[in-house]
Amino acid sequence: MHRLALVSLLLVAAGVAQGSPPSKRFFFAPQCGSASQALTANSSTTIQSPNYPSNYPNNYCYEWNFSCPNQMTLSCPDIQILSLFFCLDDVLEVSGNGERKYLCGNTALNYVVPANGMLFARFRTDWLLTAKGFQCTVSCAA
């Protein structure tokens, strides 16, 4: 376990040394799948980690983009993302209202994007240790 922690720290250091943003620090991160959806007024959809509520897989990356003509809300009442390194290993990244969030651990999120905005979410995991993940609702206001 001690050796594993040391190796992980070296990997983190290597990633940070590349100077890229946290979402791209891990050189072993896979290519991200992606989906874009234009929500219409008064509609909603769900995003979730694979296998939810069972554990998400290792080495996973997927990103979502949503647009909405009105105010848009991302609601994640139960987030369980296993991170040993301050959201650098497994992380749900959210942006769209000027504040970029890096979510890990046991937490929740209610994130509001102004009208005619774009909501971006990316879920990325590393090569070991998983957890339950998340299920979120994306709502486009009436």
Residues at the contact surface with Ca ion, assessed by CB under 5 A: 90, 125-126, 129
CB contact at 8 A, 88 and 15:
yes
Smallest separation, CB 87 to Ca ion (Å) = 11
The distance of closest approach from Cβ of residue 30 to Ca ion in the complex, given in angstroms and rounded to an integer, is 13
Q: Least Å distance between CB 56 and Ca ion?
A: 9
Cβ-based nearer residue to Ca ion, 82 or 113: 82
* Min separation Cβ 52 and Ca ion, Å: 15
What does the CA dihedral 17, 20, 26, 29 come to, rounded to 10 degrees? -150
Phi, psi of 33 (to 5 degrees): -75, 165
Q: Considering beta carbons, is residue 125 or 139 the nearer one to Ca ion?
A: 125
Given the complex with Ca ion, which of 93 and 126 has the nearer CB atom?
Answer: 126
The identity of residue 13, as a single letter, is A
- Taking the least distance from each CB to Ca ion, the nearer of 74 and 131 is 131
Tokens representing 118 are 């774009």
- What single-letter DSSP state applies at residue 19? T
| Closest of 136, 140, 142, 141 to residue 39, by C-alpha | 140
